[in-house]
Amino acid sequence: MGEIAVEIRSGAYYDSAFLMQLQGFLADQPGVQDVGVVMGTDANKEVLAQSGLLVPEAEAAMADDLVIVIKGETRQAAELALSRVDELIASRRSKRSEQDYLPKTVEAAAEMLPEAGWVLVSVAGRYAAGVARKALALGKHVFLYSDNVSLEDEVSLKQEAAEKGLLVMGPDCGTAIINGVGLGFANKVRRGDIGMVAASGTGLQQVSVRIHQMGGGLTHAIGTGGRDVKDAVGAITFRQGLDLLARDPQTRVIVLVAKPPSRSVAEQIVQQARRISKPVVIDFIGYATALRQVENLYFATTFDEAARLAVERSKEAVDFQPPDTSRFAAGQKYLRGLFSGGTLAYESLLILSNYLPGVYSNIPLSEEYRLQDSLVSQENTLIDLGEDEFTVGRLHPMMDNDLRVRRIAKEAADPETAVILLDVVLGYGAHEDPASDLAPAIAAAKKAAAQEGRYLEVVAVVAGTDEDPQDMRAQIKALEKAGARVETSNDRAAHYVGRLLKALADGSQADGLPGKAVNPETLNKPLAAINVGLESFTDSLKAQGAQVIHVDWRPPARGNEKLASILERMRRK
């Protein structure tokens, strides 16, 4: 039941914090049952309707009208409450004037605090791009909390920033942590050696919080706004942030968080991350990958996993330098894989596909890489010698090494062969002493290559247990004595060979990042900022010990959109 009083104030601008304050103030008035204080957008009108507050006057309001609806026990109570609105507005003004002098523009604030490197913008969306543009013109990085900013504005702001070596985090960027100081919504997280880039405010918060709970800590966490990783924006800020953390000496581990970007943007980010010699944990939430780890990249599927992987990495010393290729002769560049185990071969192909453009095989990952002739290698080649084609009237290659012994000699004679990779499967049923065949073949192959001035790398995966009938240790010893590099894990062997061949193939390490690189010094000096918008952000920066100037910003023409656009047109002329 209850009686409703309503007031519409046209063309007036109040920030959201004040509206919430006003709503609370009115709800506390005697005899008041419910209150709605909103701008007259369709969405807000629907919210009023849900609470039974959408009276006809409110329904008629425009998007930039302030709508105040009060439900009182009596009409009198509702109207009495309504009459106190101006009182609150006045008390707020007087409170402000008690404070120190506040500049009215970003420019004035910048003069008062020249060391400010950052401008935080949280004014209503329609004004936000303009404020951000002023900040860039002053050479400041921008933390753009505001949402409801157009895509065109986002792209042009970010392009301008990139050209100047500046960051625009946002629009709709909820969170960042720079040098220990949280901007927007941010948790108090331990300092450490993990840096983050996130196109997701709460993703950044949740991962950073879990890192803290797991005992790790952060250098910096750079927000980008969710739309940054869309094709239209092309991850401009995301890639700048990644580049910045790659060059930041305090950051040893990097975590990337985003809702799944498009394939092309994801690829671009992944390729950039791969060129960094630091571990990079990637959590594109729900982005499925065929491998969990490739070189320095660790793919997480949830926030918890991303945090755990980052904390684990920050505790270990990992070297992601490419392997030494100096022993190889010019022209040596290809892999020749000679497998007896079909699925070992298949897993190797899968892992190698993350390092090499393609590997020819009789069991290829895609048909375009099917070997024309299984007996003749092409470029990078990996063969399953246990396939049906080889085993008609012939024992499986786990028992009969004849084919492999012949093939090892042949591949070693090819001046383009850099690495021979083979599996040696032990156990019941297999050859009782495979090394007795393979070790001499390996030694002869390496010798033949050496006589022609080449270095031949032979990698052997020994698959067996210490209880197998063949004596695994003796097998490993014999193979090592012949000059093979022995691994007991197929994964490790394939990753090693992939890294080696990639290093042999790599010429260009070009980065292709557009614009001017952001100076990492930016991050590591004490944070000083100008705040335009929500006063609570100023309070929170102060509480964190940062230097901050609050701008007493008012919209052009006091929020009257028509008048503002006339003024804007006049100024441009």
Q: How far is the CB of 164 from a second copy (least distance, A)?
A: 27
In 250-286, which positions are buried (b, 16+ CB within 10 angstroms) versus exposed (e)? bbbbbbbbbeebeeebbebbbebbbebebbbbbbbee
190 binds a second copy (CB under 8 A): yes
- Placement of tokens 């959590």 in the chain: 283
Among 117, 170, 192, 201, which residue sits at the site for a second copy (rule: CB under 8 A)? 201
Contact range with a second copy by CB under 8 A, out of 88-96, 106-114, 244-252, 402-410 = 402-410
Distances (CA, A) of 529 to 23, 100, 534, 535, 540: 30, 17, 14, 13, 12
322 binds a second copy (CB under 8 A): no
Q: How far is the CB of 413 from a second copy (least distance, A)?
A: 13
Q: How far is the CB of 479 from a second copy (least distance, A)?
A: 16
Other CB atoms within 10 A of residue 491 CB: 14
- Residue from 269, 267, 259 nearest 238 by CA: 269
Q: How far is the CB of 228 from a second copy (least distance, A)?
A: 13
- Burial (CB count within 10 angstroms: exposed 0-12, middle 13-18, buried 19+), residue 145: buried
- Burial (CB count within 10 angstroms: exposed 0-12, middle 13-18, buried 19+), residue 388: exposed
Contact range with a second copy by CB under 8 A, out of 94-102, 237-245, 320-328, 421-429 = 421-429
Contact range with a second copy by CB under 8 A, out of 93-101, 210-218, 242-250, 473-481 = 210-218
230 binds a second copy (CB under 8 A): no
- Binders of a second copy: how many residues, by CB under 8 A? 109
Q: How far is the CB of 204 from a second copy (least distance, A)?
A: 8
- Placement of tokens 């006049």 in the chain: 570
Q: How far is CA 432 from the centre of its chain?
A: 50
337 binds a second copy (CB under 8 A): no
Other CB atoms within 10 A of residue 246 CB: 19
* Nearer CB in complex with a second copy: 9/516: 9
Both structure tokens of 112: 């008062």
Residues of span 463-522 touching a second copy by CB under 8 A: 463-465, 467-469, 488-492
In 161-195, which positions are buried (b, 16+ CB within 10 angstroms) versus exposed (e)? bbebebbbbbbbbbbbbbbbbbbbbbeebeebbbb
* Nearer CB in complex with a second copy: 226/246: 226
* One character per residue 114-143, x = contact with a second copy (rule: CB under 8 A): ----------xx------------------
Q: Residue 369: CB partners within 8 Å, gap ≥ 6?
A: 358, 359, 360, 361
Among 333, 410, 477, 554, which residue sits at the site for a second copy (rule: CB under 8 A)? 410
* One character per residue 149-188, x = contact with a second copy (rule: CB under 8 A): -----------------------x-xx------x-xxxxx
Sign of the dihedral defined by the CA atoms of residues 409, 414, 419, 425, in that order: negative
Q: How far is the CB of 453 from a second copy (least distance, A)?
A: 26
Both structure tokens of 406: 């012949």
Radius of gyration of the chain (CA): 33
Q: How far is the CB of 349 from a second copy (least distance, A)?
A: 9
Among 544, 554, 556, 560, which residue sits at the site for a second copy (rule: CB under 8 A)? 544
Residues of span 21-40 touching a second copy by CB under 8 A: 23, 38-39
* Nearer CB in complex with a second copy: 279/341: 341
Q: How far is the CB of 554 from a second copy (least distance, A)?
A: 16
Q: How far is the CB of 205 from a second copy (least distance, A)?
A: 6
* One character per residue 63-92, x = contact with a second copy (rule: CB under 8 A): x--x--------------------------
| Separation of alpha carbons 525 and 520, rounded Å | 9
Among 8, 17, 88, 444, which residue sits at the site for a second copy (rule: CB under 8 A)? 17
9 binds a second copy (CB under 8 A): no
| Separation of alpha carbons 134 and 157, rounded Å | 10
148 binds a second copy (CB under 8 A): yes
What angle is formed at CA 141 by the lines to CA 136 and CA 145, rounded to 5 degrees? 100
Q: What are phi and psi of 45, to 5 degrees?
A: -65, -35
Residues of span 265-284 touching a second copy by CB under 8 A: none
